[in-house]
A and B are shown apart, each in its own frame.
Chain A
Amino acid sequence: MARGTGLGWPRIIAMTVVALAATVLPLPEWLEILRPDFVALTVLWFCLLSPRMTGLFHAWGAGLALDAFRGVLLGQHAMALIVITYVATKLRLQIRAFPPLQQTAVILALLWLNEFLLFWIDGVSGHPITDWRRWLAVPAGAACWPLISSLYARFAARR
């Protein structure tokens, strides 16, 4: 699709694997609840801001890997991630033009949609987690967005 532009697949896969590792990195309990969904943030960055677009297939693969990593229902994160990637890709040109604060608000909405789909699938499959604290990861993820996007931009710009 985008041969010859900035990022090659090795780097994309490496960044995705690092995001996956960050999702299971052991943290103290109070911080664990606030852990942002790094994979969702990475997938969103790739489809919104990266010099090379990755598409739904990247989101789907990353989602499946996340399912395998956390040992949850296979296809659950994959489903949620392709939906938010679809929305983000549709709105891509608008979101790119937004000032940072507004961009963060859109990310907040997308992450909320992601978490809602996961919550829904959890419920349908009979493993509901009704603890309100599960939603804390959404604002935490949005708060991390400016930092993560600038970090990724720096990493992607390196040759």
Chain B
Amino acid sequence: MTPHEPDARPLLLGGPALGLRLIVLAILSLGLMVADHRQHRLAVIRDWLSAVVYPVQWVVQAPLGVWDSARDSLASRARIEADNVRLKADNFVLRLKQMRYETLEQENQRLRAARASTSRVVQRTLVAEIVRVDLDPFRQRVLVNKGSLAGVFRGQAALDANGIFGQVTRVGPLSAEVILISDPEHAIPVQVNRTGARTIALGTGRSGQLSLPYLPQNSDVVAGDLLVSSGLGGVYPPGYPVGKITSVGRDPSQPLLSVAAEPLAALDRDPEILLVWFDNTVVEPVPAAPPPADAPPAAAAGGD
């Protein structure tokens, strides 16, 4: 580059060409947005775009991953020994539970067979690592390192060791985006474990809080109640822990309670999550031929 080369740059920019380009590009952007939002025509393009950007996203978090693994390998012997003791104790407890679980599962299957309904338990799981990139500070979404090549699909439920984590909203070949149960646009059908009351838990945008705005004043909930997934809607397997109620606000002038809950899954600290497959075909129990007039059949309880 010689400094005396004639400069071909125009001194004044603008004029009709610039305005025309703005209009053309604006129309293109609008078209893209409409196609993406209204018609979901761009799903395939989006999937491949995510495959293109994934390497860069991976590189961004790679130094942190290296740092973490270096720290792990240099961890003190005392800490590893303490971990080991704790894990052994955990393992012992879990094995005891497992023994009981197997007999219970068999019994459950027999009972379900008698009622001609399928047992919707998790059949297959896949561990996915969370890619440590910040997608948006105001939305609770994470990127994981498994995509459609590993069989991940849209709407798949994600769990961690303590409870329900979220569901897959977008799948690329190598990566997938998971919306957390605490995202303000997320709602999960839940059941209060103690009473069986069904309601919906909404995300609040903060990772440590869910809200349950649809419980009437007279409903029986107290702080400390466990919320489990009810399995309505078919996205989440039923009976898995979602959260614990932290506060119940009773204001007599309001028709509904303001109930806050805390998710049990470690939404902001998990290094990896479990993507699960379960049989979510809901087989409605065949109603008895003469429906009893006084007692509502058991199947009607699922209708609220």
Query: What is the minimal beta-carbon distance from B9 to any residue of chain A, in angstroms?
Result: 5
Q: Mark A20-50, 1 if CB is under 8 A from B, else 0.
A: 1100111101001101000000000000000
Q: Are A4 and B5 in contact (CB under 8 A)?
A: yes
> Is the beta-carbon distance between B136 and A75 smaller than 8 angstroms?
no
Contact with A along B54-97 (1 / 0, CB 8 A): 00110111001000000000000000000000000000000000
**A65 CB, nearest partner CB in chain B, Å:** 7
Which residues of A are found within 8 Å of B170, using beta-carbon distances? 71
Given that A75-B33, A92-B13 are known contacts, is A68 also in contact with B60, CB under 8 Å in the complex?
A: no
A34–B139 Cα distance when bound, in Å, is 15
The stretch of B42-50, B104-112, B233-241 that contacts the partner chain: B42-50
Residue A73, interface by CB 8 Å: yes
Tell whether, in the assembled complex, residue B136 and residue A69 are in contact, meaning their CB atoms are under 8 Å apart: no
- B25 near A56 with CB under 8 A, answer yes
Residue B220 CB within 8 A of the other chain: no
CB of B7 within 8 Å of the partner chain = yes
Q: Is B270 an interface residue when CB atoms closer than 8 A count as contact?
A: no
CA distance A101 to B250 in the complex (A): 53
Which A residues lie within 8 Å of B143 (CB)? 71
Assess whether B18 is interfacial by the CB under 8 Å rule: yes
Is B33 within 8 A of A76, CB to CB?
Answer: yes
Distance in angstroms between the alpha carbons of A127 and B37 in the assembled complex:
11
Determine whether the beta carbon of A4 is less than 8 Å from that of B25. Answer: no
B33 touches A121 (CB 8 A): yes
9 extra interface residue pairs, beta carbon distance < 8 Å, beyond A71-B135, A74-B33, A74-B45: A4-B8, A24-B60, A26-B132, A64-B32, A68-B52, A76-B29, A89-B13, A89-B14, A159-B1
